[in-house]
């Protein structure tokens, strides 16, 4: 069996709404502005001035945020 590997989908921040209804571009910009405090730096890739979002890393980050909130409430 061949090891097929899907390439990461890197979505430009401003193009995110074409693929996903949430979060909005303004929310993403807020996450980027606070990337070192909220861990969003793990989701971002920068090429020159372009900010790209690693789609898989974004959803992993969301799950981690949810887990952190659950742990905080306990």
Is 37 part of any domain? yes
Is 2 part of any domain? no
Is 23 part of any domain? yes
Is 52 part of any domain? yes
So what's the pLDDT on residue 5? 67
Q: In what order do the strands lie in the sheet with 10-12?
A: 10-12, 50-54, 44-47
Is 3 part of any domain? no
Domain tally for the chain? 1
Token look-up 């900010």 returns 51
So what's the pLDDT on residue 45? 97
Segments in the chain below pLDDT 50:
none
Tens digit of each residue's pLDDT (9 = 90 or more) over 21-42: 999 999 999 999 999 999 999 9
Q: Residue 62: which domain range? A: 10-73
């Amino acid at each position: 069996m061949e090891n097929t590997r899907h390439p990461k989908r890197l979505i430009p921040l401003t193009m995110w709404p074409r693929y996903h209804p949430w979060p909005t571009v303004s929310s993403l910009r807020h996450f980027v502005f606070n990337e070192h405090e909220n861990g969003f730096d793990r989701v971002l890739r920068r090429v020159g001035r372009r900010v790209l979002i690693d789609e898989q890393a974004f959803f992993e980050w969301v799950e981690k945020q949810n887990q952190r909130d659950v742990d905080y409430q306990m």
